[in-house]
Amino acid sequence: MQDIFFQLWKGTGSYREGRGSLGAWLAVVARNRAIDSLRRKKPTDSVEDVVLPAKTDLASESERNLMIEKVRVVMKGLTPEQQSLVELAFFEGMSHSEIAAKTGDALGTVKTRIRTALMTLRKGVQGDAGLTFRLAHSGGRSHTACVAGIDGRGVGRSAGACGGV
């Protein structure tokens, strides 16, 4: 601040009354002096050392995208009946009874096709050791399938057995 007043004392001839008010001229002089001061300073941190925080975890996002792609590929390998039943159960949130009523299939048939589809999905994504595949939806029903939680006999474990959803 002292530097600005000293500069003004030495250079009072630079003020032109017809170009604006004295207050505006003082503000511009102070602003320009502050910018000059900042430009003269050398940066203390190297550009390589500066780490910018990211709101997303790119590693987990990449894993998630890889898993989604695997599921899409395996879903294409399912029969059309299995595909539609899995979509109705897990993406539209319908119960097995509602699916049976909508499709006209027997309840046991619906359950068997969904179980077989989930076992196929599990085998398709099981190439990654320890990777858990979950399908979940909102809507109040607990249609959560933990594909890693279905054993070879087709018996499913609860979502809690797979770490919860």
Domain boundaries of the chain, sorted by first residue: 1-10+20-39, 58-162
Average pLDDT over every residue of 1-29: 76
**pLDDT for the residue 28:** 84
CATH number, domain 58-162, options 3.30.1330.60, 3.40.50.450, 3.90.660.10, 1.10.10.10: 1.10.10.10
**pLDDT for the residue 88:** 94
pLDDT tens-digit map of 132-154: 444 444 344 444 444 433 333 34
Q: Return mean pLDDT, the chain.
A: 74
Three-state DSSP at 145 gives strand
**pLDDT for the residue 154:** 40
Of 68 and 15, more confident: 68
Please enumerate in sequence order all residues whose Cβ is within 8 A of that of 8, keeping only pairs 6 or more positions apart, or say none: 26, 29
The rounded distance, in Å, linking the Cα atoms of 80 and 70 is 18
State phi, psi for 95 to the nearest 5 degrees. -80, 165
For residue 134, list its beta bridge partners: 146
pLDDT tens-digit map of 87-108: 999 889 999 999 999 999 999 9
Three-state DSSP at 150 gives strand
For residue 156, list its beta bridge partners: 150
Average pLDDT over every residue of 10-29: 77
